[in-house]
Homo-oligomer: A and B are copies of this chain.
Amino acid sequence: MIVLFTDYGQSGLYVGQLHTVIQQYAPGTHVIDLIHSLPRFNIQSAAYLLPAYTQSLPNGTVIVCVVDPGVGGNRPHAVVRADGCFYVGPDNGIFDVLVQQASQYTVFHIDWPLPVSNTFHGRDVYAPVASKIHQSGDLDSLDCKVAVHRPTRLAADLAEIIYIDSYGNAMTGMRVSMLKSGVRLSVDGHSLPRASTFSNVPIGECFWYENSNGLIEIAANQASAAEIFDLDIGVKVSIRN
């Protein structure tokens, strides 16, 4: 199984090209569009979403991870083997939270031998590399070397909005498992109660909860929390003990 995790936009011309390339390199492979609506150019947001949304994938899954404002520049092409899965993408910070949260990992840098466009490494490098890893089960068929992962710039958790879904629910980069019990959450001066699910609060009211992937998320029952609080990617939340 190859899983795609990008900021390409679901509906445009890029996702389909990834799929066609993968079918040429690894015919019949099951390919899943996990997300293509990552906030554009926002490496930090992708870095926090990546471990939360891939941690339960089965061993051997290959994840193509592309948020890459520096495409065509000289950051290396990386493969991270972490806790049984393979993550393929630019070594530009997108893997920084993943490796912090992983119980074990190795980072590889890849030399890709074929001609490559200046602006679409997802199609020209990462999809072929992912296909080859998927077919062989490892990196044997690739020209790669183990790389030292540079000191991490991102904290393991982030008290900011990192994603807003189509309902207007706003995810933070904080894992609930890292919180002390009894904490309070506030955003833009508003203190929010904790609830376990939507129907525990009146319609239209806001709360925070542990989302289905373990992150703190701000939501409203049958309404858009993002609209109510005018939330956007990067808005800070605060935690008070």
Q: How far apart sit A203 and B231, CA to CA, in the bound complex (Å)? A: 25
With A197-B118, A200-B72, A212-B120: A11-B35 Cβ-Cβ less than 8 Å: yes
B9 in contact with A11 (CB, 8 Å): yes
Residues on B with C-beta less than 8 A from A37 are: 11-12
Tell me the number of copies of this protein.
3
What is the distance, in angstroms, from A199's C-beta to the closest C-beta of chain B? 4
A34 in contact with B20 (CB, 8 Å): yes
Question: Cβ of A166 < 8 Å from any Cβ of B?
Answer: yes
Residues on B with C-beta less than 8 A from A19 are: 32-33
Question: Cβ of A222 < 8 Å from any Cβ of B?
Answer: yes
Residues on B with C-beta less than 8 A from A10 are: 10-11
Interface stretch among A22-30, A96-104, A142-150, A179-187? A22-30
What is the distance, in angstroms, from A83's C-beta to the closest C-beta of chain B? 16
Q: How far apart sit A39 and B156, CA to CA, in the bound complex (Å)? A: 36
A20 in contact with B36 (CB, 8 Å): no
Chain B residue with the shortest CB-CB distance to A221: B69
Chain B residue with the shortest CB-CB distance to A116: B212
Question: Cβ of A17 < 8 Å from any Cβ of B?
Answer: yes
A119 in contact with B11 (CB, 8 Å): no
Q: How far apart sit A70 and B19, CA to CA, in the bound complex (Å)? A: 31
Tell me the A83-138 residues at the B interface (CB within 8 Å): 117-120, 123-124
What is the distance, in angstroms, from A113's C-beta to the closest C-beta of chain B? 18
What is the distance, in angstroms, from A76's C-beta to the closest C-beta of chain B? 15
A20 in contact with B32 (CB, 8 Å): yes
Residue contacts A-B, CB under 8 angstroms, 14 given? A9-B166, A11-B166, A13-B53, A13-B213, A14-B165, A15-B33, A27-B30, A71-B197, A71-B199, A117-B212, A118-B209, A118-B210, A119-B211, A123-B212
Additional A-B contacts beyond A9-B166, A27-B30 (8; CB < 8 A): A1-B20, A11-B35, A13-B35, A16-B34, A69-B199, A71-B197, A119-B209, A119-B211
Could you list which residues of chain A lie within 8 angstroms of chain B, going by C-beta atoms? Answer: 1, 3, 8-17, 19-20, 23-24, 27-28, 30, 32-37, 40-41, 49, 53, 57-58, 69-73, 117-120, 123-124, 163, 165-167, 196-200, 209-213, 221-222
Closest 4 CB pairs of A and B: A72-B197, A9-B166, A16-B34, A120-B212
